[in-house]
Amino acid sequence: QVQLQESGPGLVKPSETLSLTCAVSGYSISSGPYWGWIRQSPGKGLEWIGSVSPSGTADYNPSLKSRVTMSVDTSKNHFSLTLNSVTAADTAVYYCARRTSGSYSDYWGQGILVTVSS
């Protein structure tokens, strides 16, 4: 059974960097095919942030591309998200998920609420 679990700070100050990690269990992250992040602002819809392959090749949402970096650590079986220069608009529940080659996400973490506030 593939399981994903997000971790990271729940509060980030404006202009600082948001960093989250997703630990994968029950499955080798090296098997991919892709590992992704999706966020959901309070009371709003889902927004695809991007995804990364086990080799480190990443695709990002064009609207966030300049601020986002994703990486994979196969030795720890986890992958990470970094979002720079955050504002209140980045306040959201952040989900990690496995993305298939068909571009759907079949396994999701439970989500982590990140609030951007001073």
Partner 1 sequence: QSALTQPASVSGSPGQSITISCTGTSSDIGAYNSVSWYQQHPGKAPKLMIYDVANRPSGVSNRFSGSKSGNTASLTISGLQAEDEADYFCSSYTNMNTAIFGGGTRLTVL
Cα(33)–Cα(62) distance, integer angstroms? 21
Per-residue interface string for the shown chain with partner 1, residues 19-58, x marking contact by CB under 8 A: -----------------x-x------xxxx-xx-------
Contact assessment for residue 52 and residue 79, using Cβ atoms and an 8 Å cutoff: yes
Q: Is the dihedral of CA 90, 32, 65, 73 positive or negative?
A: positive
Binding of partner 1 by 77 (CB under 8 A):
no
**How far apart are the C-alpha atoms of 115 and 87, rounded to whole Å?**
9
Stretch that binds partner 1, among 8-16, 72-80, 83-91, 92-100 (CB under 8 A): 92-100
Where do contacts with partner 1 occur on this chain (CB under 8 A)? 36, 38, 45-48, 50-51, 59-63, 95, 99-100, 102-106, 108-111
